[in-house]
Amino acid sequence: MALTFYWYPNCGTCKKAKKWLEENNIDYESIHIVENPPSQEELESLIAKSDLPAKKFFNTSGKKYRELNIKDKIKDANTEEMAKILASDGMLIKRPIVTDGQKVTVGFKEEDYHENWL
């Protein structure tokens, strides 16, 4: 089964992840995270399957995150509220996100990819 690879083509981390997937001959379907951001429901599912706190799905180094003062907005938010905020703008989502429908990785660490996707 091919992986789903949510990415932003101008993102350096996404490019590294894409290169790693291709070098390891891993099939994937790429989805432009800004043009086609995951829905609130998809994000809730990804968060649940990732075993990560919902806050880890935010692109905390992004301009939008700072401009919209998301840090304060999510301080006391639950997963559902955070997923709703994330779904509102793909630029708020940490990327890339890779999933096979069971497991989920966020960002790119070669050892995580090796462990999960090989």
Mean pLDDT computed over every residue of the chain:
96
Which percentage of the chain shows pLDDT scores above 70? 99
Which percentage of the chain shows pLDDT scores above 90? 98
Q: Which fold has domain 3-117?
A: Glutaredoxin (3.40.30)
The half-sphere exposure of 87 on its side-chain side, counting CA atoms within 13 A, is 16
Find the Cα–Cα–Cα–Cα dihedral 21, 26, 31, 34, rounded to 10°: -10
How buried is residue 90: exposed, middle or buried, by Cβ count under 10 Å (0-12/13-18/19+)?
A: buried
Asked if pLDDT for residue 1 goes beyond 70, the answer is: no
As a whole number, mean pLDDT of residues 86-102 equals 97
Domains in the chain: boundaries: 3-117
Res. 87 pLDDT band, cuts 50 70 90: very high
As a whole number, mean pLDDT of residues 54-80 equals 96
User: Residue 50's pLDDT is what?
Assistant: 96
